[in-house]
Each structure stands twice: as C-alpha cells, then as structure tokens.
A and B are shown apart, each in its own frame.
Chain A
Amino acid sequence: MGRFNDASKAQKSICAALAIAAFILLWFFATNGTNLGVVLAGPVEVFRKFFVSFVQPLGTHTIPGHILWSLSRVMVGFLAGSALGIVLGVTMGWYRIIDAIFRPIYEMIRPIPPIAWIPLAILWFGLGEVTKYFLIFLAAFGNVTMNAYAGVKSVDPVLIGAAKMLGASDRRVFTSIVLPACVPHIFAGLQIALGSAWATVVAAEMVRSSEGVGWVIITGQDTNNSVQILVGIIAVGAIGYLLAILMRGIEAKLCAWSERGK
C-alpha cells in the first residue's frame, strides 16, 4: 500500500511539473510569437524581475518585504476572525438560545463580500492598517463560523448517546465529544478562510497602501508596467499556494484520525 502511494505521489508531482512547464511555454510562445506580447509581458522578463526584486526594492521594499507586510496583515485579521468564528460557530451550533439570537444576524452579514465593506471601513477606521485588519477579519470570520457551526451540527448523535450512557455530563459531552468531533470541519473552514483572507488583503492594499503585494500590483497598473503587475500576481499565487500546503500539513497532524487528515 505504501509503495503504491509513493508511486502515485511521484506520478502526481511529475504531472504537476509538466503542467506548469507547459503553461509557461505556452505563455512564452504566445507573448513572443504574437501581438499579445504588446499588452502582456513574457515569462522570462517577469521571472527575472521577480527574482531581481528579492534584492532590489520595488518602491520601499523588496518582494519578500512586501510579502511579509501582506502576511502580517493577514495574520492579524485571520487569527482574530478565526478565533471569534470558532467561538461563535461552536456555541451557535450547541446552544439553541445563542443560535436563535445570533444566527439571523450572521446569515444576513455572511453573503456580503468583505470588499463591499471597504467604503464603510474607510469611513470608520481611515486609510490605515485597521481598515485592512477589519476586512480580513470579516473574510476569515464568515467562513470559519459557518464551518464550525456545521461541524457541531454534524456530530454523530450515536457518539453523544454513547458518552451519555457512560455517564458523561452535558459539559463533558461538549468538551470530549462535540469539540474534537468538529475539528476537521473547523480546519476545512480555516483553509477556506485563509484563502479568502489572502485574497482580501490584496484588494485592501489595492485601495490604499504603501507596501504589500496588493500595492505592487496596483502600482504596476498606475505606471503601466505589466511586468510588475505579473510579479505581484505571481507572489500572490505562490504565497497562497504555500499557505494552503502549510494548512494541509497542520491538518494532517491534528486530524490523523479522520478521512480529511489522511
């Protein structure tokens, strides 16, 4: 079984590498052999600029510097939004009264995309960091709450019954059954939330900032520099991908017992 998995893993990696290489080749020929090159920079130029920007600042920071700025904004908003989302989702799922009070409000706010709050956030918090934290907070909070709630709702009643039969109090059922049972759901929510938070930071930085990957992209637009736009986009994609891998790794550790953790 293990050998089979290793083989299919290697196969997957090879396929991934080939697909990416094919995509870059297509990009190369499209921008070099056709008029597309006029409006879109080619891969050689873009990757050269990308790596040069590791040492040569774009604006006030190098690319790693911009990435760290964006990541720090994401972390503040994501951690706060996730923490509140887990608490609200789990308690809404378990306590009827909290469900009755908070869910109608939550359901109304949930469908509003975070970027729709940008104008209001600017009026409230100005153009500084707090606005960005707030938007990312909203992005994380919505997803995590939903999943934590669904997690509690989907706890197998057989397990609750079994724990009660063994003499567990309601409190014990909550801490020993409900909470561990919804960890995989919460993790699924955290993954979506992190992706969503990462998308939101770019939007927030494009509105107003002096650093961050969103700034790299929007400045590229302002200076008519498609190379810089693409450098920003590649940074966004690469970091988003790395974050997803990181979350998968943590999940595999914490949820080794579940199908999702496999």
Chain B
Amino acid sequence: MSDNIKVKVQNMTKRFGDLLVLDDISFDVKKGEFLCIVGPTGCGKTTFLNCITKLYEPSAGEILIGGEPVNLKKHNIAYIFQEYSTMPWLTVEQNVAFGLEIKGIDKATIKKEVAEVLEIVGLTAYRDYYPVELSTSMVQRVVIARAFATKPELLLMDEPYGQLDVELRFKLEDELIRLWKRTGTTVIFITHNIEEAVYLSENILVLTNKPTTIKKKLENTLPRPRSVVDPAFVKVRNEVTELIKWW
C-alpha cells in the first residue's frame, strides 16, 4: 500500500438487524487530504463515521489507518461531534489542555501548545471562562482547539457547524482551513450543507440514500481562498446538488 494513503476503507458494510445502512463502501483518503462527505439526510453519514471510530463495529469490511486496523489507543484520532462536547467543569484553557493531558504530555509543552491554539481560534482572552459563560460558537471553537491541540493524524468532524448561523459558520470554516493548512492533518468532514462541502474540501464523497453506497468521489480543485458567489464555485455546487438529488 502506498505510504501516501492515510485511511483505507475496504468493503465496509453495516447492518442494524435487518436494516442495511452502509452497503459495501470502499474509498481511500490521502495523507493531509480534506475530504467532505455529503449525502441526503438520514443516509447514514454519522453511522459511517462511527464505524471509522469503532463506536460501531462494521458488519463486514475493514478500515485501515496508516495501513493498520483502527486502534484508538494507538492512532491519534480526534472527533468533533454535532453536540458540543466541552467539559462544563473545566475552563476554556483546561478543556483545550484535556486531550494533551490524557496523552501524558509534560506540563510545559501543554502550556505552550494550548496558548498557541487558543491564539489561533481567538479565545486567549476567554481562557479562564467556563463553557456555560460562552456563546455556542465559542464553545465549538473550544472543541476544535482541543482537537487540533493534540495534533491528530486524523480529524473527524460530524456537522460541527450545523447549529450555527451563517456568519459564524463562515468564520469558523476559514479558521478550520487555517488550522488544517498549518497542521497538515487529514480531515474527514461530514455535512449535509453542499455549499460548506464545496467551500472546504479537496475531495467530495457523495453518498446515496439508504442502503448507502458511494455515488461519486468528486475532485474539488477550486483555488483558495474560495468565494461562494464565484461562478466556478456555483458550478461545482450545482454539480454536487445534482448528484445528491434522490427525488
């Protein structure tokens, strides 16, 4: 296998009883790639991520990370949920440090890394606040900062901006791109928002309705920074929209 492949999904199938959710899915994600996965609502996008992280055991097939079966203790994978997963009893700073502490990194390094990431997401002034004192978008930035602080080899994001308004979403998307470029992390980003997928991705994986298969893997070569009103952007967006239509 090529060294350049970070994630290899082979014939992944997932059934819940008689319900076939994922049907024989295979694809690769290159190292440092930003892959967006789009599909109709309820097509099993989250099930798909949960299989990658072993929260669910796939019914058949396998997932290799760096050529090895997924092992959360060994592979440094970060997962950003739809729900906000900050620890309410920790301050912003302690939340971002949490992942690093679990990995047993020394205090001085943690302090440095946390300060750096907080600066990038613009939360330095809020480092002593508790999540309950922050707005939803700030809380989600804490989660993202926590994920990037651990320098994950693979970052999984499941509609992380689904609950934000458009302006904040744009801001956080730009921030995400900055963090991704800086760290070279491989990102798999799930969304039902086609515009978001076209804005962020290098590649777009379009899924079908249940039982879910891959409809198409689309290369997105639009230059950055991208603009949602650019005709070339609109063209790609329309293309993805056509692919996703199931009616």
Interface size on B, residues (CB 8 A): 26
Known A257-B132, A258-B132; judge A165-B79 contact (CB<8 A). Answer: yes
A212 to chain B, nearest CB (A): 39
Of the listed residues B103, B131, B132, the one surrounded by the most CB atoms of chain A closer than 10 A to its CB is B132
Which of B76, B81, B83, B131 contacts A167 (CB under 8 A)?
Answer: B76
Of the listed residues A158, A161, A176, A257, the one surrounded by the most CB atoms of chain B closer than 10 A to its CB is A257
With an 8 A cutoff between CB atoms, is A245 at the interface? no
Contact: B89 with A180, CB < 8 Å? Answer: yes
Known A163-B102, A164-B72, A167-B103; judge A258-B88 contact (CB<8 A). Answer: yes
Chain A residues within 8 Å of B81, by CB: 158, 161-162
B47 to chain A, nearest CB (A): 15
Chain A residues within 8 Å of B77, by CB: 165
Known A163-B102, A164-B72, A165-B78; judge A158-B89 contact (CB<8 A). Answer: no
Known A181-B89, A256-B130, A259-B132; judge A158-B98 contact (CB<8 A). Answer: no
With an 8 A cutoff between CB atoms, is A68 at the interface? no
Chain B residues within 8 Å of A259, by CB: 132
With an 8 A cutoff between CB atoms, is B73 at the interface? yes
B199 to chain A, nearest CB (A): 25
Report whether over half of chain B's contact residues are helix, strand or loop; otherwise say mixed: loop
Residue of B nearest to A163 (CB): B102
B72 to chain A, nearest CB (A): 6
With an 8 A cutoff between CB atoms, is A201 at the interface? no
With an 8 A cutoff between CB atoms, is B214 at the interface? no
Contact: A158 with B130, CB < 8 Å? Answer: no
Chain B residues within 8 Å of A258, by CB: 88-89, 132
Chain B residues within 8 Å of A166, by CB: 78, 98-99, 102-103, 146, 150
Report whether over half of chain A's contact residues are helix, strand or loop; otherwise say mixed: helix
Chain B residues within 8 Å of A163, by CB: 98, 102
Distance A176 CA – B143 CA, assembled complex (angstroms): 17
Residue of B nearest to A157 (CB): B83
Contact: B76 with A183, CB < 8 Å? Answer: no
Closest 6 CB pairs of A and B: A162-B85, A166-B99, A257-B130, A165-B79, A180-B89, A257-B89
A/B interface sample: 23 pairs, CB < 8 A: A158-B83, A161-B55, A162-B79, A163-B98, A163-B102, A165-B53, A165-B77, A165-B78, A166-B103, A166-B146, A166-B150, A167-B72, A167-B73, A167-B76, A167-B99, A167-B102, A176-B87, A177-B87, A180-B87, A257-B132, A258-B88, A258-B89, A259-B132
Query: What residues of chain B have their CB less than 8 Å away from a CB belonging to chain A?
Result: 53, 55, 72-73, 76-79, 81, 83-85, 87-90, 98-99, 102-103, 130-132, 143, 146, 150
Query: What residues of chain A have their CB less than 8 Å away from a CB belonging to chain B?
Result: 158-159, 161-168, 172, 176-177, 180-181, 183, 255-259
8 additional contacts, CB 8 Å, given A161-B55, A164-B72, A181-B87? A158-B84, A166-B99, A166-B150, A180-B89, A255-B89, A256-B130, A257-B132, A258-B88
